[in-house]
Chains A and B, each alone.
Chain A
């Protein structure tokens, strides 16, 4: 068939091609019956393509030959022993068959050709699609990987910053605490210095004693060296110094509870005491700008993480400090409400705008100037309170102030 030889649907058909699918035995049998003669179909080169089987019919006339026409020109011959007229009409009948077969062949060939073209086109498009699909897949995979890496980097950085924030508030405290400690150390040193100068007076008296001086001389030295005053002063100096050392010890004790922020152990603690300690260690930082009024009620001990809660109160105190312009107040009130410990901190600061209020617990959200804070204070505080199964709520009105309410469950261990 033409499809196998890869010819176009509109090539010139040979007689043989046009007889494809035609039952030539029946055709020739019919011819033989009508023409009363054996018949042969020949191609253009006079080669016999089909012939009737040898039969017992004897030809009555001489052998005649007539052309078989294709589209326009002869494509073969019909040969039989019969009258030229009979032969011609037989040829016309065969031509009708050839014509109808050529119609079928052309239709089927163009059908196959277009089907194949369409299929090849589809395959080409399919291949092109596959290529681009692979490309996008690879791109998507590498993109996914890069996003994951990036997310991990960001998470690690945030974790570090979060941890740093816990330490940073302690660092901020250090400056204030140093001031607090410097003060007593200053007067203790001055006192000790005075005491040191007193030693020479006692040495003089000691020398008089050892030389077995007279009472009157001893009395004279006692007077000259003003040992009467010295005795009183030494008492004062020592009392004052002990007091100073006690103050330092108290500060160190308060500070210690803050320095244990990474301590995982929890213990029974008094929230009021934690608040007091926080106020003590932050005293220097508040610089007389923020007056702290404590209104601490009777509340039970609770099993908690004192250092972490201390950090929460410190964060809130420092926020209140930042909120006041010139001078302001913060009232810290503790009560028991609905079987929970309730801590309320109400300041007279600038408040928070409605727009910012929705973001205050978002990590890294800050309205402070660069270098003043990284926006983790409230995030850390909220996380600590949540870890204690408590709640932290904030109500604020611009220019009026802010009320922070913390509720903590009472837990016994």
Chain B
């Protein structure tokens, strides 16, 4: 649930990268940190164990100011993928405005993907998120590896689902921005109803996306 802070004229939007362990959530976040040229881009905060497994979460703060003077702040989180950290996943997922589900494309990971997605749905229910209206993108990562599920099969599997599916190689950055764009489109539509981006801030969906990704904006 995006939070509007009247004192500071600031809207905070929370995004969460969810998925099974080792599927590439943190790598997605690192690529975003490297590639995005958002006006305001904070340090990436990583809380990992010595063997590079996420312990609590990773956090990348991003933001831009609309022409109307509204600061739109994004807090992009990853959850720990390991099954044991379920309480942490639940806490991080709480009050999120959108989710990228990072699936591992390897054939051997199908069951883990499925269990993690079920876990996402269950935890969303526990923290009071209406899953049917939650902006969500399914990202099939690690497309560079051998023994991966084919795109055709992925498309067929998710055909009946309402969510967009993207393909990526987070190590090289392939598909990482496209995934974020696909999520931002849904988030804009969802939040525009409540916060009247177009009406009050003259902010189009395209502008909303461009501002965050920073392609057309002057470099910082």
Contacts and interface: CB of A to CB of B under 8 A. Distances in A.
Contacts of A44: 8
B46 to A, nearest CB: 9
B83 interface: no
B156 interface: no
A12 B40 contact: no
A117 B91 contact: yes
Nearest to A121: B87
A10 interface: yes
Contact of A73 (B59, B63, B92): B63
Contacts of B43: 99
Given A12-B5, A12-B12, A72 B42 contact: yes
B61 A8 contact: no
A223 interface: no
B47 A72 contact: no
Question: Chain B contact residues: over half helix, strand or loop, or mixed?
Answer: strand
B14 A10 contact: yes
A71 B91 contact: no
B59 to A, nearest CB: 8
A103 interface: yes
A114 B61 contact: no
A183 to B, nearest CB: 94
B47 A103 contact: yes
Contacts of B5: 12
Contacts of B88: 110, 114
A327 interface: no
Interface hub of A72, A107, A114 (most chain B Cβ within 10 A): A72
B56 A111 contact: yes
A155 interface: no
Given A73-B63, A103-B45, A110-B92, A117 B75 contact: no
Given A72-B42, A106-B56, A117 B90 contact: yes
A8 B127 CA distance: 13
Contacts of B33: none
Interface string B78-114: 0000000001101110110000000000000000000
Contacts of B41: 72
Interface string A1-44: 00000001110100000000000000000000000000000001
B208 interface: no
A113 B88 CA distance: 8
Given A72-B42, A114-B88, A118-B87, A10 B63 contact: no
Contacts of A102: 45
A108 B43 CA distance: 19
B56 A110 contact: yes
B17 interface: no
A93 B5 CA distance: 28
A72 B40 contact: yes
Interface string A103-137: 10011001101110110000000000000000000
Interface in B11-51: 12, 14, 40-43, 45, 47
Interface of B: 5, 8, 10, 12, 14, 40-43, 45, 47, 56-57, 59, 61-63, 71, 73, 75, 77, 87-88, 90-92, 94-95
28 contacts: A8-B91, A8-B95, A10-B75, A10-B77, A10-B92, A12-B12, A44-B8, A72-B41, A72-B42, A72-B61, A73-B8, A73-B10, A73-B40, A73-B71, A99-B45, A103-B45, A107-B47, A107-B56, A110-B56, A110-B57, A110-B92, A111-B56, A113-B91, A114-B87, A114-B88, A117-B87, A117-B90, A118-B87
